[in-house]
Structure 1
Amino acid sequence: MAAGQSGIDVSHYQGDIDWQAVAGAGISFAYLKATEGTGYSDTTFAGNWAGCQDAAIASGAYHYFLPRDSFLQQAENFVSALKSVGYDRSKDLPPAIDCEEMDGSSPAEYVHALGSMTHLLEKLLWVKPMIYTSPGFWNGLGNPDFSQYPLWLAEYTSAPQPNVPAPWSAYTIWQYSQKGQVSGISGYCDSDISNPNLALGPFRGSILNWF
């Protein structure tokens, strides 16, 4: 595996986290679950965000997307959570949309709802959101062209590089394991790595070069 910068992503499933210990373990960035659908907010989001900030870990938030829920209300839910923690697009990582559940929708319905969600977030936040997905899920949608958005790719493989779904040519972040173990976290967490070929500077800066 090429040497990018190390990251993790977490939610309430990880419980209380010692972010100073996480930083001491060499973790440079973290994505934190903020919201899901139209009304759910992760109970650990605010605390995790503050912990990352205090530990100088670059932080980003993600929203679990449900295509049959109102994209307007989902966007409002996500943006409200970001504003509550003082999200700053000039220094924080771009918000991410977690795309992994069809929720009974057709591929065409999913793609329409996701396109509406991404466009609305761009208008509300003045930043392009990141798309989190797996090759299998994206292929099942028919490989719609969202390549204007950075890709956070979920694929667990022993290969040195993941399979990047069309139409992207490269991932920005690769979630390569669901069974990461890091000091400061009890049990498992998701492990991520940044793309070293996109690292034109510090990780935070290289991500923001997409915009």
Structure 2
Amino acid sequence: MRVFKAVLAIAAALCLAGVAGWHYATDWRPSTGEYPIQGIDVSEETGPVDWLTARARGVDFAYARAIRAGTRRDRLFQSNWAALGEAGIRRGVIHQFSLCRSAEAQADAFITFVPRFLDALPAVVELDFDEGCARRPERAELLGSIQAFLKVVEHHTGSPMLLKISEPFEKQYQVSGAVARPLWATQDFFEPLYLARPWRMWQASTIRRIDGVDRPVHWNVVAP
């Protein structure tokens, strides 16, 4: 009986430690002293956001995904964009690049669905592998497609785009050293080191929970 009670006590302690650790992880963000400008990026996967509450929780800026899988408009883009403006939060647009769509088709989709916003932060092209696209072009072809896309879209927006590059994508294609644009790195909790040049933005958590959003958010910081 004593052994059984001891086992239960240990199990309970481990459970409590796990709950405390998970709470810490979902509440964590980089120090505002080191990174004073912090914000989130959202998509239809995030669900509805109470932007006034999010701003009160330390959201200085937000990026809303506009295009999914290269050519499809994100279902919540328009509502997110309008609500961000009403909340007075600096806002920008993300285009999810697809290896299964041509650069021309993707640029056309961006121009069709994303008007030129004079108050917008620099737009972002997100480079990552998509489960819905198995195609893996050669590096030279991919870099040419990215450059062709940037040429058209940057003419539309009037400013250089940021490249948000995942670590697996960078390892395969080494984009950061070949395309001269500001970089956005992604790695939970630990400062990323996989890019060829210093990053301008860092997605530091994909599991942070904040008031005003029912689901976890992607939490980002700007390099000081």
Classify the TM-score, shorter chain: 0.7 to 0.9
Change (3 A) 1:17 1:142: closer
1:209 paired residue number: none
Corresponding residue to 1:165 among 186, 191, 195: 195
1:140 paired residue number: 172
Shift of 1:116: 1.2
Which consecutive aligned stretches of 4+ in structure 1 deviate over 6 angstroms post-superposition? none
How high is the TM-score relative to the length of structure 2? 0.77
Unpaired runs of 5+ residues, structure 2, are 1-29
Separation in 1 of the partners of 2:87 and 2:223? 23
Shift of 1:108: 2.7
1:57 paired residue number: 89
Q: Are 1:105 and 2:133 an aligned pair?
A: no
Separation in 2 of the partners of 1:45 and 1:62? 10
Separation in 1 of the partners of 2:166 and 2:104? 24
1:45-100 residue CA offsets vs partner (Å, 9 max, x unmatched):
011011111111110010110123121121121122221xx611xx3111111100
Question: Quick one: which amino acid aligns to residue 99 of structure 1?
Answer: L
Separation in 2 of the partners of 1:38 and 1:31? 17
Q: Are 1:9 and 2:37 an aligned pair?
A: no
Change (3 A) 1:123 1:183: same
Change (3 A) 1:143 1:115: same
1:43 paired residue number: 75
Shift of 1:109: 2.4
Q: 3-state SS of the aligned residue for 1:13?
A: coil
Share of identical aligned residues, percent? Answer: 23
Alpha carbons 2:70, 2:95 under 8 Å: kept: no
Corresponding residue to 2:213 among 185, 189, 193: 185
Corresponding residue to 1:93 among 109, 113, 121: 121
Separation in 2 of the partners of 1:65 and 1:144? 15
Separation in 2 of the partners of 1:30 and 1:173? 12
Q: Are 1:67 and 2:102 an aligned pair?
A: no
Alpha carbons 2:166, 2:186 under 8 Å: kept: yes
Change (3 A) 1:148 1:4: farther
Unpaired runs of 5+ residues, structure 1, are 197-211
Q: Are 1:149 and 2:217 an aligned pair?
A: no
2:6 paired residue number: none
Number of residues of Structure 1 aligned to a counterpart in Structure 2: 188
